[in-house]
Amino acid sequence: MSDSPAVQVSGLTKRYESGETSVDALKGIDLTIERGDFVAVMGPSGSGKSTLMHILGALETYSEGSVAIDGKEIGGMNEEELTLLRRDSIGFIFQFFNLLPTMTAEENVMLPSMVAGEKTSALKPRSAELLELVGLSDRAKHLPSQLSGGEQQRVSVARSLMRNPALLLADEPTGNLDSKNGAAVLDMLRDVQQKAGHTIMMVTHDAVAASRAGRVVFLRDGLIAGEVAGGDSNRIIEFFAGLEQAA
Ligand SMILES: Nc1ncnc2c1ncn2[C@@H]1O[C@H](COP(=O)(O)OP(=O)(O)OP(=O)(O)O)[C@@H](O)[C@H]1O
Ligand SMILES: [Mg+2]
């Protein structure tokens, strides 16, 4: 189903239960992300942003509702199908880069396909192409410890694209970078969206980062509280301030 949205969520709820206590982290989310969209998700701490992202990445189960990634319902999938979905359809970019310290930049980029059982020699051209895309061709043989934070995050952007995923999920990708390196990573994400047509969902606390997305979706208390277009960080800051006052 090549014309299905990248993400289609309806009536999504998530209840965390532990012993006597339970937390309703998501209370009924409806969200469609079309292919090629770049969506930023903002919201106060505890509003459910990471929970939503982890469910979309098949890293966390959900309680009710339906979730389809790239036209495939994940509700009925078994563990093996979920593993394949994570491996082949979703790219992850984390706040703390999560590169393997003993592998070079090039090997880190190839890793998702190495895990899938492909031969390293066959992966080199794709890896080289991705390192070039993120401006790190001359760092291919460097270990993460020999790279700056911004460079490490660019390697993890390249890695997330290795298998050409239907959906890129980024949880605070600029949270550990200074503003210059953060801006470089955001430029890169914009590029992979606009030039390569990738679909991106990014959680961020930073209105300037969010303004680089096409859509900014706000969560509050497990529900979608509104949406504004990207582009104007002042409008985003205003909307966010309104949310926190109403809370
Ligand atoms: N594993 C868990 N067990 C129980 N409750 C959880 C668990 N993970 C999250 N929660 C609760 O679910 C709610 C939503 O958490 P979540 O991590 O999604 O928030 P968030 O919007 O990402 O916040 P932050 O901006 O602080 O990262 C919170 O009330 C949190 O305490
Ligand atoms: Mg979070």
CATH number of the domain to which 37 belongs: 3.40.50.300
User: Would you say residue 31 lies in a domain?
Assistant: yes
What residue's CA is closest to ligand 1, atom 6?
A: 16
User: Would you say residue 218 lies in a domain?
Assistant: yes
Please report, in angstroms and rounded to a whole number, the separation of the first and last CA atoms in the chain: 40
Within 6 Å (CB) of ligand 1, which residues are found? 16, 18, 23, 25, 43, 45-51
User: Would you say residue 228 lies in a domain?
Assistant: yes
Q: How many domains does the chain have?
A: 1
Give the residue, out of 50, 95, 171, with the most ligand 1 atoms within 8 A of its beta carbon, to mutate for a pocket test. Answer: 50
Burial 23-45 (b: 16+ CB within 10 A, else e): eebbeebebebebebbbbbbbbe
pLDDT value of residue 21: 94
Give residue 52 CA to ligand 2 midpoint distance, Å: 9
pLDDT value of residue 243: 83
Contacts of 110 (CB under 8 A, 6+ apart): 120, 123, 124, 126, 127, 162
What is the mean pLDDT, run by run of 10 residues, along the chain of 247 residues?
A: 86 95 97 96 95 95 96 93 92 89 96 90 94 94 95 94 93 90 91 90 94 96 95 91 79
What residue's CA is closest to ligand 1, atom 7?
A: 16
Domain of 64?
A: 7-246
Q: Which atom of ligand 1 is nearest to the CA of 53?
A: 18
Give residue 42 CA to ligand 1 midpoint distance, Å: 14
Give residue 170 CA to ligand 2 midpoint distance, Å: 11
What residue's CA is closest to ligand 1, atom 29?
A: 46
Give residue 46 CA to ligand 1 midpoint distance, Å: 5
What residue's CA is closest to ligand 1, atom 31?
A: 46
| Best CA proximity match to 68, nearest among 26, 8, 14 | 8
Whole-number Cα distances in Å, 122 to 108, 125, 160, 182: 15, 7, 18, 32
Roughly what angle, to the nearest 10 degrees, separates helices 179-194 and 120-133? 110
Ligand number with the minimum distance to the CA of 52 = 1
pLDDT value of residue 95: 84
Ligand number with the minimum distance to the CA of 16 = 1
**Alpha carbons within 13 A on the beta-carbon side of 129:** 11
User: Would you say residue 36 lies in a domain?
Assistant: yes
Ligand number with the minimum distance to the CA of 46 = 1
Q: What share of the chain is helix, strand, coil (3-state, %, to 5)?
A: 40, 25, 35
Whole-number Cα distances in Å, 116 to 33, 79, 200: 27, 16, 23
User: Would you say residue 1 lies in a domain?
Assistant: no
User: Would you say residue 236 lies in a domain?
Assistant: yes
pLDDT value of residue 235: 92
pLDDT value of residue 247: 62
User: Would you say residue 87 lies in a domain?
Assistant: yes
User: Would you say residue 2 lies in a domain?
Assistant: no
> Is 31:7 a contact under the CB 8 Å cutoff?
yes
pLDDT value of residue 61: 94
